Amino acid sequence: MYNPEVIETPALKGRKRMKVALLGNPNSGKTSVFNKLTGLRQKVGNFPGVTVDVKSGRLDMNKDLAVELIDLPGTYSLFPHSSDERIVVSTLCNTRDDNYPDAIVYVANSAQLEKHLLLFTQLLDLNFPIVLALNMADVAEGKGMKIDNARLSKEFQTPVISVNARTGEGIDRLKIVLEELLLHGVQAEGLSQRRPFYELSDQEEQLSERAGEVMEVRNVYHGLLLAHHHSWLPFLDNWLKVSISHKLESTEKPLLHYQVRETMSRFDRLGPLLKRSIMRPADQPLSRSEFADRLLTHRVWGPTIFFVLMFLVFQAIFEGASYPMDWIEQIFRALGRWLQTSLPDSWFADLLVKGILSGLGGILVFIPQIAILFFLISILEEVGYMARAVFLFDNLMSRFGLNGRSIVALISGGACAVPAIMSTRTISNWKERLITIMITPLISCSARIPVYALLIGFAIPSVPVLGVFNLQGIAFMGLYLLGILAALGVALIFKLVLRSDERSFLLMELPDYKQPQLRNVGYTVYEKVKAFTLEAGKVILAISIVLWVLADFGPRKEMARAEEEARTIAAQNNMDESATADLIASRQIEVSYAGHLGKFIEPVIRPLGFDWKIGIALITSFAAREVFVGTMATIYSIGSESDEFAIRDRLAQEKDPVSGKPVYNMATALSLLIFYVFAMQCMSTLAVVRRETRSWKWPIIQFLFMGGMAYLGSLITYQLFA
């Protein structure tokens, strides 16, 4: 079933809107070329069914041609192994795919042409109009190589352009050639119809024909690819898969055998062809990257340098973000106060201030951390250092079902899980990435610090240990260690439980070190901040409003009575205005829905040593852990502006109305500490996990298992110490 029509140049179909796919190997500088071509006119979507982002952007052409450039994942061939690479095949093999391109821009690293053109020759054989963009021409020149573009162009019968994504050199020319190609096909460049680069063997022809008997194919090579990949291609109906595999039953050799042979024969032809077109100096200079790696991947110095770098990254998030975060908080607090005084007192003003404004503040407050983390990480990535970190830690991490890159997420999780989870995007193995996402929130983040400080101060005496240490400090460190151990333990369990058909490979190019391109770094930061604000932001805002309803509303009569009582008491004791307001808030939160919920869950949390008041704080601190401190302050009507120390003193005085014993003793505080180490008390993290896994399933599982660990941990702690 040959269909010659689809090979026609797109212009003949009279279409104005066209799609161009950007393809190339990893480390070809494809992303730089993409950024240079599209600028900020890019948007991020995702491929249906998988958690891989698709970036696309509009290309401005001179003629009235609307071209959408689609950045497909970097891959080495059309014989894929990871889900990223599979996307490339399923996009290019499905003529009805949304991203099916009219033409292709293929980016190759000029200095590595011998290795980087396999995929290119496969694309040639799929008969796409294609421009070969030779990137990093300056690097190749620096190595003394001379590439004869005209000759290459003749050999491949397709346009070849040298570009430099760093300086922008050749980008305009690339656009012009692409436009010509889209409008007039390859003939415009004075090139004739090309012959297949790879001649199929008789058996392969048969394979292709058989696939062609059940569905329409673009050409004979397209048929062969369908035969190779029919078992997993998502766009094939089940009956098509069955009938293709039925037809292939009689093939003598396993399909893999043909893939090996095809790859070999393509390289056999590429080798001499490139020798004719590229002049290399006889003696290659020693790679400078290799020299640097003597230190950077050294058994002792390598990890040392890595941890120093990570410590700096951690410090930058921790310290650097604190100022802008304070400003954001102050601005929102001032805005809230202003709204409250200028708007008439109504539920609407309350919704605006306590629901929406605090939700928005809760979203924006993460932006400095996200921006700083991705600024630093993408510099390390751009330089080529991240690949070395993977080399250093892959072995250790793979024992826990993780990836070498997971260590970055785990360390930055110590500042905040939100950007840390977003950074797992670079882990291409889905199982390894998922496990990293699931365990990162167990690492104690900065939001736990106020809670730890409050409770440690309460439960643990400040006594010196061994002369130099303080027991409180040791307890602090113990909590962090507990989080790390829990994370690794859970990772092991997930490693055993999760099934994956993707084999865990590590075959990774260690690219030459190069100067980072600030433009690329800027785009990454912009994109991450945007994705968080828009996508996770929605969920955070919604939960924030729900929490506001819970804490601010209650059965109407009870709320009114609580206010009345509070006013009477205040009047009797001659309290001033702000003390009265604090008392009203305290009485009202008791009878609010959150209060009712707190009392409702009291029997469940009683064995942990918690009363309903802590129950309320557990519910409200779901917004963010540090809210715990504020809620306890409200419940005990200390006023929301007060600090941990005032609350600590107040808690110590609290007596059980029946027995007269203190409600909060060391056992309660320890139990609560353990609870906060494990519990998923952060809506923003859940929102980000939902975005990164594209489902509610994983955040819900995470919420449940972390909640379960918290409950059990607290139960054991309380029962031991009570």
Partner 1 sequence: MRLTELKENEEGILHRYEDERLAVKLMAMGVLPGSRLRVIRKNAFGNTLYVRVDQMHLAIRKTEAACIILK
- Which residues make up the interface to partner 1 (CB under 8 A)? 76-77, 79, 81, 111-112, 114-116, 118-119, 254, 256-257, 259-260, 263-264, 267, 284, 287, 289-290, 293, 297-299, 302-303, 387, 390-392, 394-396, 398, 503, 505-512
Rounded Cα distance between 346 and 350, Å, is: 6
- In angstroms, the CA 519 to CA 521 distance is 5
Tell me the closest approach of the beta carbon of residue 111 to partner 1, in angstroms. Answer: 7
Minimum CB separation of residue 297 from partner 1 in Å reads: 5
Between 301 and 327, CB nearer to partner 1: 301
Nearer to partner 1, 253 or 661 (CB): 253
In the complex, what is the shortest distance from the CB of residue 503 to partner 1, in angstroms, rounded to a whole number?
Answer: 8
| Least CB distance to partner 1 at residue 115 (A) | 3
**Phi and psi based region of residue 145 (left: phi greater than 0; alpha: psi -120 to 50; beta: remaining):** beta
The tokens of 668 are what?
């309660």
In DSSP terms, which residues pair with 18 in a beta bridge? 67
Q: What is the nearest approach in angstroms of partner 1 to the Cβ of residue 290?
A: 6
Min dist. Cβ of residue 284 to partner 1 (A): 7
Nearer to partner 1, 129 or 401 (CB): 401
Residue 170: CB minimum distance to partner 1, A:
23
When the beta carbons of 254 and 344 are compared against partner 1, the nearer one is 254
In the block, residue with structure tokens 């180490």:
677
Minimum distance from CB of 263 to partner 1 (Å)? 4
* Closer residue to partner 1 in complex, CB, 513/675: 513
Nearest distance in Å: CB 613, partner 1 = 50
In whole angstroms, the minimum distance from the beta carbon of 201 to partner 1 comes to: 17
Contact 440, 421 (CB under 8 A): yes
**In terms of CB distance, is 104 or 177 closer to partner 1?**
104
CA-CA distance, 430 to 407, in Å (whole number)? 16
* Nearer Cβ to partner 1 (496/507): 507
Residue 74 or 362: the one with the smaller Cβ distance to partner 1 is: 74
Please identify, using beta-carbon distances, which residue of 264 and 466 lies nearer to partner 1: 264
Q: How far apart are CA 401 and CA 114, in angstroms?
A: 34
For partner 1, the closer of residues 200 and 584 by Cβ is 200
Q: Among residues 245 and 287, whose Cβ is nearest to partner 1?
A: 287
168 versus 271: smaller Cβ distance to partner 1: 271
Cβ atoms of 22 and 69 closer than 8 Å: yes
Q: Give min distance, CB of 80 to partner 1, in A.
A: 9
Is the CB of 387 or the CB of 670 nearer to partner 1? 387
Tokens for 564? 């009345």
The β-bridge partners of 106 are: 23, 132
For 371-375, which contacts have Cβ atoms below 8 Å and span 24 or more sequence positions? 371/525, 371/528, 371/529, 372/316, 372/317, 372/320, 372/321, 373/313, 373/317, 373/412, 373/415, 373/419, 373/420, 373/423, 374/419, 374/422, 374/423, 374/524, 374/525, 374/528, 374/529, 375/521, 375/525
> Distance between CA 337 and CA 351 in Å, rounded?
13
The residue among 259 and 665 lying less far from partner 1, judged by its C-beta, is 259
For residue 383, give both structure tokens.
């330089």
Tokens of 560: 């009114």
Side-chain half-sphere exposure of 433, counting CA atoms within 13 A: 19
For residue 2, what is the DSSP state? B
* Beta carbons within 10 angstroms of residue 379's beta carbon: 18
Q: How far apart are CA 196 and CA 705, in angstroms?
A: 55
Q: How far is the CB of 409 from partner 1 (least distance, A)?
A: 19
Q: Residue 293 or 644: which CB sits closer to partner 1? A: 293
Q: What are phi and psi of 343, to 5 degrees?
A: -95, 150
Residues 69, 75, 77, 80: what is their CA dihedral angle, to the nearest 10 degrees? -110
Shorter beta-carbon distance to partner 1: residue 322 or 500: 500
Shortest approach of partner 1 to residue 295 CB, angstroms? Answer: 11
Which has the closest alpha carbon to 164: 36, 347, 318, 3?
A: 36
- Alpha-carbon distance 699 to 622, whole Å? 14
Shortest Å distance, C-beta 343 to partner 1: 60
Q: How far is the CB of 625 from partner 1 (least distance, A)?
A: 36
Cβ atoms within 10 Å of 306's Cβ, excluding its own:
21
Phi and psi, residue 74, nearest 5°: -70, 135
Angle at which helix 288-296 crosses helix 301-315, to 10 degrees, equals 80
- Residue pair 15/179 in contact by the 8 Å Cβ criterion: no
Q: Which residues are 134's β-sheet partners? A: 108, 162
The label of the residue with tokens 């433009």 reads 519
Output the smallest distance, CB 167 to partner 1, in A: 23
> Is residue 203 exposed (0-12), middle (13-18) or buried (19+ Cβ within 10 Å)?
middle
Angstrom distance (rounded) from CA 535 to CA 539: 7
